[in-house]
Amino acid sequence: MPAKPTTGILSILKTAVVNALIALVLFSLMVGIRTEAGSDGQLTYWMRFGELASLVAVVFGGSIVIELLRQWIGPSGTEKLVPPAVQSGMAFVGRFLAPALLIFALLVPVIFYNQRYILDLAILVLTYVMLGWGLNVVVGLAGLLDLGYVAFYAVGAYSYALLATNFDWSFWICLPLAGILAALWGVMLGFPVLRLRGDYLAIVTLAFGEIIRLVIINWQELTGGPNGVPGIPRPTLFGIPLDNSDDGLAARLGIEYSPTHRIVFLFYLILALALLTNWVTIRLRRLPIGRAWEALREDEVACRALGINTTTTKLTAFATGAMFGGLAGAFFATRQGFISPESFTFQESALVLAIVVLGGMGSQLGVALAALTMIGGFELFRGLETYRMLVFGMAMVLIMIWRPRGLIGHRAPTVYLTKAKAISSDLVKEGHG
Amino acid sequence: MSGEKILGVDQLTMRFGGIVAVHDLSFAAERRKITALIGPNGAGKTTVFNCITGFYRPTGGAIRLTHDDGKQIALERLNDFRIAKQAKVARTFQNIRLFPGMTALENLMVAQHNALMRASGFTFLGLIGVPTYRSAEVHAIELATEWLRRVNLLDRADDAAGNLAYGDQRRLEIARAMCTEPALLCLDEPAAGLNARESAALSELLLSIRDEKGTSILLIEHDMSVVMEISDHIVVMDHGVKIAEGSPREVRDDPKVIAAYLGTDEEEAMAVMESGS
């Protein structure tokens, strides 16, 4: 972007020509020449001038449109676009957005009782909300970039699956165990990476995620390898199964059995787990440990000078985040009834991290909105078929241009004397690892 | 030197590869006194500071801290956060290191981390909200408020530290260090970048910390008006060794000090030294 706003047709044309030239160079090999293996295996190729010309023309035209738009909107950095009335309106909406979302979430099974697809989607969204909130502790609060979060999700899922299928323990015993085991793995990952910062930490956590997945694939005797773990027991309502049997919930209540009962139960289960994650995180933020996490993100050296044990502080952040990931994993296992290593690829880690970054690092509401946008939006574009990923990707890019620090770009203080003032995200550090 | 010793640095040596940053340095700081460490740029002052506050492990020598109860602590054996936690040595930094995205009050709350951690039963009791933690938090907020008042930042308590003016940030950093309730406060160039009025206010603040709180202060400073006004004892370093030591008056008149600061042109040096008095 030019430093000072340039005007005039000449400068617009100049920009457009430069962009078109870059496009010409880029696309001349990628699109302009088509190569194929001939009938005898020899290389045949031909030029596609038409396609190349149309692409360059699109770039040229697009550049002019974008430049015109830019001049119409005004130079970047000015925030006079939003009138004060709209701003106060947005603040009003902002205050009631979280309670409104919560009430809506509680009512989803009532409103969409007959729409199985929406209920399933809501459960999926809530799973990612929970994962996002869990990772938010590590990335958003403590500022430790974790690219292997899916490892804890996998540990939780497999812990639950193996404990439930091998020992026949109930869901309510296995769930906390899965959380504890995942937290333990969080500490185990934490120890070797304590000295690493930034990019190096990201690489090691990425590798850790892959190691867990590879161990699951190869330890066939325990995990079933690529075949996964089938027949994971469904959760019960404190011992009462939600099925068609004589002592099932429907029979006991004397109502007609419907498979939707179980879906609704799963929905409220994941909602409760997600809200637990949220509640614990909000409380932790106001406790000394939470403040130490945020201080660690802001300045690790200063933390040490104040006598804060950065080692245990980082480990607790890893463990807390991992525990929530493990709980979400256990839920995933019981919901699916079958798990295999395919569900725990790097793509899941990237998706959860994208949710945290898009939401605005450290913001609970932002993460919830981002999960809704990412998972819901992805489904919304299903009608576009082949172009779904393209449109979705472009939407992500646009959101990040519009709000570079995430949907909720400010930090709420954890304690105040007279008035809690939101802190602009420009001041808040992202952490260095 | 008379009086009770709080910090004793004995034959401290710090080498970085082939470079000797500090060589065989010995000095002492007295309890409830302000000791200044001065010297030209590159004299090794900050290196001494980093050795005392545990950011470097000295190559040789001993650093002894004596607490009020007579307990002696070997600082060169402690490292990292333990210096601040166990030995109660707090420090500020030459280039201010606040938590810019947190409010002034939050900065002071983080400083009371260890006390609050104990009160919150290492988070577990705090999570369920036991009353003992709540009262500890109220107490911590009171301490923070008191320090905000002392450094004249009470009306900025809920503003982000990164939004404060430079001079305010300097004072907030001192307040943050004091919130750890230290035995020894180490200040690395607290007056750097301050104007004359702010420097005067800083001098007053440091004197009140010494007189009212009874905290011993060790400071590095280039601003001679501050050093000469508030120091009880001055140690002068050049090229990693101590070249002079004594009261402000003795140091000011020492030809070796003048030479170190301004070469051998004594007339010019005298002029600068006089202007600081």
DSSP secondary-structure letter at A226?
G
C-alpha atoms less than 13 angstroms from C-alpha of A188 in its C-beta half-sphere: 14
pLDDT digits (tens, 9 = 90+) for A417-427: 877 777 777 77
Looking at the fold, whether A229 and A303 belong to one and the same domain comes out as: yes
Q: Are A357 and A154 in contact (CB under 8 A)?
A: no
Please write down the long-range contacts of B167-171, taking CB distance under 8 Å and 24 or more positions apart: B167/B193, B167/B194, B167/B195, B167/B198, B169/B96, B169/B98, B170/B92, B170/B96, B170/B194, B170/B198, B170/B202, B171/B201, B171/B202, B171/B205
**Residue A35: beta bridge partners?**
A45
CB atoms within 10 A of CB B83: 26
Looking at the fold, whether A130 and A200 belong to one and the same domain comes out as: yes
Tokens in use for A70? 């830019």
Q: Which of A351, A375, A404 is the last residue of a domain?
A: A351
Q: Do A305 and B110 touch (CB under 8 A)?
A: no
C-alpha atoms less than 13 angstroms from C-alpha of A351 in its C-beta half-sphere: 24
Please write down the long-range contacts of A199-202, taking CB distance under 8 Å and 24 or more positions apart: A199/A433, A200/A433, A201/A144, A201/A145, A201/A146, A201/A433, A202/A145, A202/A146, A202/A147, A202/A433
Strands in B60-66's sheet, in edge-to-edge order, are B19-30, B5-16, B60-66, B72-74
Looking at the fold, whether A285 and A158 belong to one and the same domain comes out as: yes
Give the global pTM.
0.81
Looking at the fold, whether A28 and A156 belong to one and the same domain comes out as: no
DSSP secondary-structure letter at B197?
H
A82 to each of A79, A90, A402, B262, how far by Cα in Å? 7, 10, 13, 58
Q: Which residue has the higher pLDDT, B93 or A253?
A: B93
- The mean pLDDT value for A226-254 works out to 76
Tokens in use for B178? 């004091």
Which residue in chain B has the smallest CA separation from A415? Answer: B106
Chain A residues near residue B91 by CB distance under 8 angstroms: 305
Looking at the fold, whether A181 and A293 belong to one and the same domain comes out as: yes
- pLDDT number for residue B1: 45
- The mean pLDDT value for A102-125 works out to 84
Chain B residues near residue A414 by CB distance under 8 angstroms: 106, 109
Q: Which of A334, A351, A368 is the last residue of a domain?
A: A351
Domain ranges (residues) in chain B: 1-88+222-277
Q: Which of residues 285-314 of A touch B (CB under 8 A)?
A: 287-289, 291-292, 294-295, 297-299, 301-310
Q: Which residue has the tokens 């525990």?
A: A323
Asked whether residue A357 is domain-assigned, the answer is: no
- Domain that residue A56 falls in: 9-73
Please say if the pLDDT value at position A240 is more than 80.
Answer: no
- pLDDT number for residue A129: 93
Q: Do A298 and B157 touch (CB under 8 A)?
A: no
pLDDT digits (tens, 9 = 90+) for A276-308: 999 999 889 888 999 999 999 888 889 988 888
Chain A residues near residue B162 by CB distance under 8 angstroms: 427
Please say if the pLDDT value at position B175 is more than 80.
Answer: yes
B99 to each of A316, B107, B111, B164, B202, how far by Cα in Å? 20, 6, 11, 12, 21
Q: Do A417 and B105 touch (CB under 8 A)?
A: yes
The answer, for A194 touching chain B at a CB cutoff of 8 Å, is: no
- pLDDT number for residue B70: 77
Looking at the fold, whether A52 and A125 belong to one and the same domain comes out as: no
Architecture of domain B1-88+222-277: 3-Layer(aba) Sandwich (3.40)
Looking at the fold, whether A147 and A14 belong to one and the same domain comes out as: no
Chain A residues near residue B111 by CB distance under 8 angstroms: 306
Asked whether residue A415 is domain-assigned, the answer is: no
Asked whether residue A382 is domain-assigned, the answer is: no
Q: Are B248 and B227 in contact (CB under 8 A)?
A: yes
pLDDT digits (tens, 9 = 90+) for A328-378: 999 999 898 888 888 888 888 988 988 888 887 778 888 898 888 888 887
pLDDT digits (tens, 9 = 90+) for A263-281: 888 899 999 999 999 999 9
Which residue in chain A has the smallest CA separation from B180? Answer: A306
Confidence of residue A78 (pLDDT cuts 50, 70, 90): very low
What's the number of domains chain A is made of?
2
- Enumerate helices (H) and strands (E) in chain A, giving the number of each: 17, 4
Q: Are B135 and B117 in contact (CB under 8 A)?
A: no
Strands B241-246 and B233-238: antiparallel
- pLDDT number for residue A168: 80
Percentage of chain B lying above the pLDDT 70 cut:
93
- DSSP result, A300-325: HHHHHHTT--HHHHHHHHHHHHHHHH
Nearest by CB: B126 against A287, A309, A413: A287
Q: Which helix or strand (DSSP H or E) is residue B28 part of?
A: strand B19-30
- DSSP result, A251-266: HHHT----THHHHHHH
- The mean pLDDT value for A126-135 works out to 93
Asked whether residue A364 is domain-assigned, the answer is: no
Percentage of chain A lying above the pLDDT 70 cut:
93
Confidence of residue B269 (pLDDT cuts 50, 70, 90): low
Asked whether residue A411 is domain-assigned, the answer is: no
Tokens in use for B250? 């003795």
Mutation target to probe the A interface, by most A beta carbons within 10 A, among B89, B110, B123, B178 is B110
C-alpha atoms less than 13 angstroms from C-alpha of A289 in its C-beta half-sphere: 29
Q: Do A415 and B127 touch (CB under 8 A)?
A: no
Asked whether residue A221 is domain-assigned, the answer is: yes
Q: Where do the DSSP E strands lie in B50-181?
A: 60-66, 72-74, 89-91
Single-letter amino acid, residue A374? M
ipTM: 0.85
Q: How far apart are CA B193 and CA B94, in angstroms?
A: 10
Please say if the pLDDT value at position B23 is more than 50.
Answer: yes
pLDDT digits (tens, 9 = 90+) for A55-67: 899 999 988 888 8
Coil, strand or helix: which one is A93? Answer: helix
pLDDT digits (tens, 9 = 90+) for B127-150: 777 778 888 888 899 999 999 998
Asked whether residue A116 is domain-assigned, the answer is: yes
- pLDDT number for residue A84: 63
Q: Which of A329, A351, A373 is the last residue of a domain?
A: A351
Query: Which residue in A230, A228, A253, A229 sits closest to A241, CA to CA?
Result: A253
Tokens in use for A311? 């080692």
Please say if the pLDDT value at position A75 is more than 70.
Answer: no
Chain B residues near residue A291 by CB distance under 8 angstroms: 102, 106, 109-110, 113
Chain A residues near residue B101 by CB distance under 8 angstroms: 294, 297-298, 411, 423, 427-429
Asked whether residue A400 is domain-assigned, the answer is: no
Q: How far apart are CA A215 and CA A212, in angstroms?
A: 5
Confidence of residue A79 (pLDDT cuts 50, 70, 90): very low
Q: Could you give phi then psi for residue A41, rounded to 5 degrees?
A: 90, -5
Q: Are A388 and A379 in contact (CB under 8 A)?
A: no
Q: What is the mean pLDDT of chain A?
A: 83
Looking at the fold, whether A116 and A67 belong to one and the same domain comes out as: no
